[in-house]
Amino acid sequence: MTTSAKSVHFDDNNMWLALSDGRTLGVPLAWFPRLLHATPEQRQQCELSVNGIHWEALDEDISIAGLLAGRGDATAPTKIAA
């Protein structure tokens, strides 16, 4: 069974997803800088699909599988300790 997003909404600090399996998932906007710096109107301009969420104007794609695995922005550089 694939879990998908049924709806998405935002507060000042989080993105909230209602999932098809009945769970609600809250994710910090700090995990996704493009969403963090977007206007509320830009955040609402998203498309839900079976696999995730897409924001055309923000060039942002977030997979539900990645969110459930606890992954944030995959485009951010990874910090490696020396």
Q: Are the CB atoms for 34 and 41 separated by under 8 Å?
A: no
Burial of 64 (C-beta count, 10 Å sphere; 0-12/13-18/19+):
buried
Q: What is the pLDDT of residues 41-54, one digit of tens each?
A: 999 999 999 999 99
Return the residue matching tokens 């996704």: 32
Q: Which domains does the chain have, with CATH numbers?
A: 5-68 (3.30.2020.40)
Q: Are the CB atoms for 30 and 76 separated by under 8 Å?
A: no
The structure's pTM equals 0.84
| Alpha helices in 1-82, H assignment, sequence order | 33-36, 40-44, 64-68
Please determine, for residue 82, whether its predicted confidence score (pLDDT) is greater than 70: no
Confidence of residue 72 (pLDDT cuts 50, 70, 90): confident
